[in-house]
């Protein structure tokens, strides 16, 4: 006949709870306690087995004013043991160290998973920003701050002061618990977000459509335009139908412009834009604005052995054949005209499909 020595489930749970309670607390251990008293010096916490712990005011500085005012007797609070039970039976506890420990655990997990975190800027030094991330103090080097990328309007000192208290989204770039070192980057998050936006824009864009954008930079060969997350280039030749000597003749940084999407290269992630193609090409309307035998004003742009080219407007140029420069026999157009001359000319022929105009100087009434 066997003897059943098993206990009812409720009794077993009671014994397990009591056994857990009589365990002595150890330095560095996280302990969930119950608030017994709150005053200016700190809080008294019951940590089980009729033991108590004290959290001094200097060990709860990480709590906001709202969190401090919400502390109530009977509520649970997480603490970390600094000193186990002393002669008076109480332990020294810390809320700050508990939050820091939880912060380290969370940061290490997120770092290993490649996740980002949210934090608050709490101050600055010469090297960068000090941040609080879930109770853990970390650092953002100045080269990894987002405003370094978006060019602050004022000085760096003013920008830093304005950003204290700001909530920021950060990428973890280094975690070294043994050295109490946690390094973050705001810039990397912004770059990742912009890259994601760029991929979206590249997928949405259609060649031939017109988009609104903002000029972000100009250079000798053209202008870069932000289309809402992706930059495209307007080559200097696509800025205007008229000849352009320098980019700033047409656009400046911060200008908002409508641009024509010429080409999208998914492989190189490049977008070719045009400003001039948002409107009709001057040659398209030449037949509507000019007629044969019409007298017009033109500027000599180039001399060749067989004649001289004259610009009527923008990209619209015509040829004055050497035989139409003068009623006299000449050896070279330079005998009659030079580059830069502004002359009255007569239109002899219009061929818009071939972008050609035949002009005459002598028939316009100017005889040489």
pLDDT value of residue 24: 67
H or E element in which residue 211 lies = strand 210-219
Residue matched to tokens 């004290």: 54
In the chain, what percentage of residues exceed pLDDT 90? 52
pLDDT value of residue 13: 54
Measured between its terminal Cα atoms, the distance across the chain in Å is 140
What digits encode the pLDDT tens for the residues 125-142? Answer: 888 999 999 878 899 999
Distance from C-alpha of 163 to C-alpha of 83, rounded to nearest angstrom? 38
Nearest to 145 by CA among 135, 133, 160: 160
pLDDT value of residue 235: 96
Residue 150 has pLDDT above 60, yes or no: no
Q: Is the pTM of this model over 0.85?
A: no
Residue 308 has pLDDT above 90, yes or no: yes
- Radius of gyration of the chain, Cα coordinates, nearest whole angstrom: 39
What digits encode the pLDDT tens for the residues 239-293? Answer: 998 888 899 999 999 999 999 999 999 888 899 999 999 988 888 888 889 999 9
What digits encode the pLDDT tens for the residues 190-229? Answer: 988 888 888 889 888 999 999 999 999 999 999 999 998 8
Q: How confident is the prediction for the chain on average, in pLDDT?
A: 86
What digits encode the pLDDT tens for the residues 284-294? Answer: 888 889 999 99
What digits encode the pLDDT tens for the residues 61-108? Answer: 888 888 888 889 999 998 999 888 776 778 899 998 888 888 888 899
Domains of the chain with bracketed CATH: 26-98 (2.40.50.140), 114-191 (2.40.50.140), 205-278 (2.40.50.140), 282-364 (2.40.50.140)
């Amino acid at each position: 006949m066997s003897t059943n020595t098993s206990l009812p489930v409720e009794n077993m749970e009671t014994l397990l709870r009591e056994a857990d309670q009589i365990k002595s607390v150890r330095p560095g251990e996280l302990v969930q306690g119950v608030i017994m008293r709150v005053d200016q010096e700190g809080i008294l916490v019951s940590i089980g087995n009729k033991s108590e712990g004290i959290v001094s005011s200097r060990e709860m500085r990480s709590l906001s004013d709202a969190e401090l005012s919400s502390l109530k007797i009977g509520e649970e609070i997480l603490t970390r043991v600094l000193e186990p039970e002393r002669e008076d039976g109480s332990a020294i506890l810390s809320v700050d160290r508990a939050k820091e420990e939880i912060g380290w655990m969370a940061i290490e997990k997120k770092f290993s998973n490649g996740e980002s975190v949210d934090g608050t800027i709490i101050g600055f030094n010469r090297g960068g920003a000090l941040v609080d991330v879930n109770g853990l103090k970390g650092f953002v080097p100045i080269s990894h701050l987002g405003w370094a990328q978006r060019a602050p309007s004022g000085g760096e000192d003013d920008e830093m002061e304005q950003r204290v208290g700001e909530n920021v989204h950060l990428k973890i770039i280094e975690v070294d618990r043994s050295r109490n070192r946690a390094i973050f980057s705001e810039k990397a998050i912004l770059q990742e977000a912009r890259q994601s936006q760029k991929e979206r824009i590249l997928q949405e864009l259609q060649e031939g459509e017109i988009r609104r954008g903002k000029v972000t930079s100009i250079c000798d060969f053209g202008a870069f335009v932000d289309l809402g997350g992706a930059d495209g280039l307007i080559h200097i030749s696509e800025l205007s139908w008229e000849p352009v000597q320098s980019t700033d003749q047409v656009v400046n940084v911060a200008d908002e412009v409508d641009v024509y999407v010429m080409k999208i290269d998914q492989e190189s992630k490049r977008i070719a834009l045009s400003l001039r193609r948002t409107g009709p090409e001057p040659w398209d309307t030449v037949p509507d604005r000019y007629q044969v035998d019409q007298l017009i004003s033109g500027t000599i742009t180039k001399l060749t052995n067989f004649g001289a080219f004259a610009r009527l407007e923008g990209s619209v140029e015509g040829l004055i054949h050497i035989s139409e420069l003068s009623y006299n026999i000449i050896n070279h157009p330079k005998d009659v005209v030079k580059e830069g001359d502004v002359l009255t000319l007569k239109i002899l022929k219009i061929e818009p499909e071939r972008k050609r105009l035949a002009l005459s100087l002598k028939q316009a009434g100017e005889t040489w």
